[in-house]
């Protein structure tokens, strides 16, 4: 049932190109328009939405953080992202014009379910992004956009995350399409790139051997830090979460701009720091910033592991290890930059003799608060 792989997690990592393609299937027509018929919230209602609030836990929360960048950029609708367990116990400001998006692989996460009930009680409309047909969260939502990752068995979420990202992009693009905001060349390009992205994920998977080797060489480390900017920041958080739950190592993700506000004090000689570099094209200011962040940490002794686009030469002099990813539009980069971090965590866990599919103290679906 593991399809020849030692662990479900490895199988699920390998299934990502298909999971991504399946989640896009039938949702983009030949003209590049989105047809999300399942989203049973009418176009008129979607035009009235004046705020999007995303609630989720763990890895799904990281997908939500990335969605915020896409939603605000493509639709100009303000978007908040909140941990479901926090949202539920405060007094959020919601009404009929708020679109709440609940993201959950299992559809059974109690914190997320409670958050969506809380939102509906206050009149907000809830759209679920979910991987499990007929589970509780989509049943209690106004509409659902299913991810088509197929069953995810390993406790650590991989293919579900990538498909959650795809679903979030589709929601953002659909909102943009319905409302006519910023619906122009940029959006058309992104839609085109999105329909090709599964091949890029496959290319990343084909080049993972050096990442495995690197992970094995770090098996006796205590701490790994992850840094990113823009959409690379949630990717850093996700890389750190994977490492915590699988390798039981101290791992933290930071926004690279926050370094000087505290975390840089953590850097010690030879401490591995994974940096997710934004594309050098277009938003080159961001890229310049990350290059100086890499220089700063390296000057303090960090061993830098840089995830950077093919053709990004500026990072080369400061990277002790370089992990190449394909060129993608900035907002879509997490679909390719997360993959090496999954492989890295999985291999480190194996090297440390940990149980990959069933990490200690964790359950696949958390049905208690
Ligand atoms: O089933 P859900 O997507 O609602 O689960 C949310 C989290 O419990 C889940 O993503 C968890 O963080 C994973 N173990 C991460 O790999």
Give the ipTM of the model, two decimals please: 0.98
Task: Give the pLDDT score at 61.
Answer: 98
Q: How far is the CA of 59 from the centre of ligand 1 (A)?
A: 5
Task: Give the pLDDT score at 186.
Answer: 81
What is the pLDDT of the chain when averaged over all its residues?
94
d(CA 203, CA 208): 9
160 CA: nearest ligand 1 atom: 3
Nearest CA among 13, 4, 2 for reference residue 344: 13
Across 304-333, average pLDDT:
97
Across 38-59, average pLDDT:
91
59 CA: nearest ligand 1 atom: 10
Determine which one of 18, 51, 221, 364 is catalytic. Answer: 364
d(CA 302, CA 216): 18
Across 233-262, average pLDDT:
96
Task: Give the pLDDT score at 283.
Answer: 62
Above 70 in pLDDT, residue 298?
A: yes
Ligand 1 pocket: which of 7, 59, 63, 84 to mutate (most atoms within 8 A of CB): 59
Q: What would the pLDDT profile of 175-220 be if each residue is shown by its tens digit?
A: 998 888 766 778 888 999 999 999 999 999 999 999 999 999 999 9
In sequence order, what DSSP letters do the residues of 302-326 get, joined into one string? -EEEEEEETT--TTGGG-SEEEEE-
Proportion of the chain above pLDDT 90, given as a percent:
85
Task: Give the pLDDT score at 187.
Answer: 84
Please indicate whether residue 364 is annotated as part of the active site.
yes
Task: Give the pLDDT score at 140.
Answer: 97
Task: Give the pLDDT score at 121.
Answer: 94
Q: What would the pLDDT profile of 320-331 be if each residue is shown by its tens digit?
A: 999 999 999 999
Structure tokens at 99: 């679109």
Radius of gyration of the chain (CA): 20
Ligand 1 pocket: which of 54, 57, 361 to mutate (most atoms within 8 A of CB): 57
Above 90 in pLDDT, residue 294?
A: yes
Across 233-241, average pLDDT:
98
Cβ–Cβ under 8 Å, residues 214 and 274: no
Residues 6+ apart with CB under 8 A from 82: 53, 54, 55, 92, 115
Helix (H, G, I), strand (E, B) or coil at 274: strand
Task: Give the pLDDT score at 30.
Answer: 84
Task: Give the pLDDT score at 352.
Answer: 96
Task: Give the pLDDT score at 38.
Answer: 79
d(CA 254, CA 369): 27
**Bridge partners for 103 per DSSP:** 129
What would you measure as the largest C-alpha separation in the chain, in angstroms? 58
pLDDT band, residue 281 (cuts 50/70/90): confident
Task: Give the pLDDT score at 39.
Answer: 79
Q: Which residues line ligand 1 (CB under 6 A)?
A: 57-60, 104-106, 109, 112, 155-157, 245, 362, 365-366
Q: What would the pLDDT profile of 132-145 be if each residue is shown by its tens digit?
A: 999 999 999 999 99
pTM: 0.97
């Amino acid at each position: 049932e593991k399809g020849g792989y030692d662990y479900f997690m490895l199988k699920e990592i390998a299934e990502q190109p298909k999971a991504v393609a399946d989640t896009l299937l039938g949702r983009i027509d030949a003209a590049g328009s989105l047809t999300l018929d399942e989203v049973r919230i009418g176009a008129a209602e979607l035009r009235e939405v004046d705020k999007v609030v995303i609630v989720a836990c763990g890895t799904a929360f990281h997908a939500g953080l990335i969605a915020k960048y896409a939603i605000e950029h493509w639709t100009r609708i303000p978007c908040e992202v909140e941990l479901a367990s926090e949202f539920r116990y405060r007094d959020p400001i919601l009404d009929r014009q708020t679109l709440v998006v609940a993201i959950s692989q299992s559809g059974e996460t109690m914190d997320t379910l409670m958050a969506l009930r809380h939102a509906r009680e206050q009149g907000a409309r809830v759209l679920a992004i979910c991987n499990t047909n007929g589970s509780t969260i989509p049943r209690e939502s106004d509409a659902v956009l299913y991810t088509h990752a197929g069953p995810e068995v390993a406790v650590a979420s991989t293919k579900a995350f990538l498909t959650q990202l795809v679903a979030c992009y589709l929601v953002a693009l659909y909102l943009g399409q319905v409302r006519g905001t910023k619906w122009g060349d940029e959006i058309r390009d992104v839609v085109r790139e999105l329909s090709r992205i599964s091949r890029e994920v496959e290319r990343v998977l084909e080049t993972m051997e050096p990442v495995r080797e690197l992970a094995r060489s770090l098996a006796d480390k205590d701490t790994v830090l992850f840094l990113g900017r823009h959409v690379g920041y949630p990717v850093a958080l996700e890389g750190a979460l994977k490492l915590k739950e699988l390798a039981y190592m101290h791992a933290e993700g930071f926004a690279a701009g926050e370094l000087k506000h505290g975390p840089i004090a953590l850097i010690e000689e030879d401490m591995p720091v994974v940096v997710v570099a934004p594309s050098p094209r277009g938003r080159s200011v961001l890229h310049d910033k990350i290059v100086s962040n890499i220089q700063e940490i390296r000057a303090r002794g960090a061993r830098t592991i840089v995830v950077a686009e093919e053709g990004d030469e500026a990072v080369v002099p400061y990277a002790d290890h370089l992990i190449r990813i394909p060129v993608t539009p900035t907002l879509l980069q997490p679909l390719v930059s997360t993959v090496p971090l999954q492989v890295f965590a999985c291999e480190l866990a194996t090297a440390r003799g940990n149980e990959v599919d069933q990490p200690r103290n964790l359950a696949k679906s958390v049905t208690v608060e």
